[in-house]
Copies of this chain bind each other. A is one copy, B any other.
Amino acid sequence: MIKIFKLKNIISIKDFEREDVEYILDEASKLEDIAKSREVSEELKGKILGLMFFEPSTRTKMSFETAMKRLNGQCIGFETTGSSSVSKGESIADTAKMFEGYSDALVIRHELEGVSKFISDIVDVPVINAGDGAGQHPTQTLLDLYTIKNEIGEIDNLKIALIGDLKFGRTVHSLANALGLFNNITIYLVSPPELKMPQEILHDLNKTNITYIEAEKIEDVIDDVNVLYVTRIQKERFADIEEYQKIKGAYIVNKKMLEGKDLIVMHPLPRIDEINGDVDNTKYNKYFTQAANAVPVRMAILKTLIKNNPK
């Protein structure tokens, strides 16, 4: 049976069914040799990707560029609002229509939720949401799932701890939503009380088969998980700086606490100090692998959308 990927745009991970996720992960596996530069591809030769980054995000932008270029495609775009026509008073809609005229697909990053969706409604080319405000960052979630599948062997039966800022962390929201598509998942939600997972995400999880357990300390869950998914706690989130100083140590992962455990450590990066440097040279460190996985996963997305939606 020939599988097809039916989404035209990648706006929210909530638009995905399990088979859509699996399609991208399978495609990404097939593209590994090209991503790692062991094989040369002309898959997207002559195609152009428009990168509309209204807020900077070096890592995301650069991995999309790398993905496009490994497939022999090319990129155009801007990386701050200041360097776009929007700074001359042009509407986002007009800027997007201009990019549509030049490109085979668009990648959008904006501080406001909903901008990617808005643009996808007015242009004919595929649109990829590369992060909009507190909203979605679906391609990050796909590369997280790809990393879990590669490192653990499957996504079903996963026991994962989401650690740190679960209130504002866009990546943990999207990942929790996506795990609802898989079977027998247990999620440990490890955060200070001020930064607990929002009610609406818990409400989403209640509609799935996911078992979730809230906790305040990594120590309480570390023996029960395959994956520690660490995120950064920003001190700006705390009204009381002393409160921040008091609690932040409880959410730092170090080598000593990992010893003898059968698990991996992931992080969407950039990290500041929430993973100690002594973890870097251990087998637990999968956050650099995870970062590199952005390339085959975004290659899979670009190839699929552009091939399925010729201009």
Q: Which residues of A contact B (CB under 8 A)?
A: 34, 36-41, 45-48, 56, 58-59, 62-63, 65-66, 69-70, 72, 74, 76-79, 83-85, 88-90, 94-95, 97-104, 269-272, 288, 291-292, 294-295, 310-311
Contacts and interface: CB of A to CB of B under 8 A. Distances in A.
B97 A291 contact: yes
A48 B76 contact: no
Contact of A34 (B46, B101, B104): B46
Contacts of A65: 76
A104 B35 CA distance: 11
- Copies of chain A in the complex: 3
B89 A272 contact: yes
B104 A291 contact: no
Name which of A66, A69, A90, A101 has the most chain B CB atoms within 10 A of its CB.
A101
B36 A40 contact: no
Contacts of A56: 83
Given A66-B76, A88-B270, A270-B88, A311 B97 contact: no
A46 B272 CA distance: 33
A46 B70 contact: yes
B79 A83 contact: yes
A37 B41 contact: no
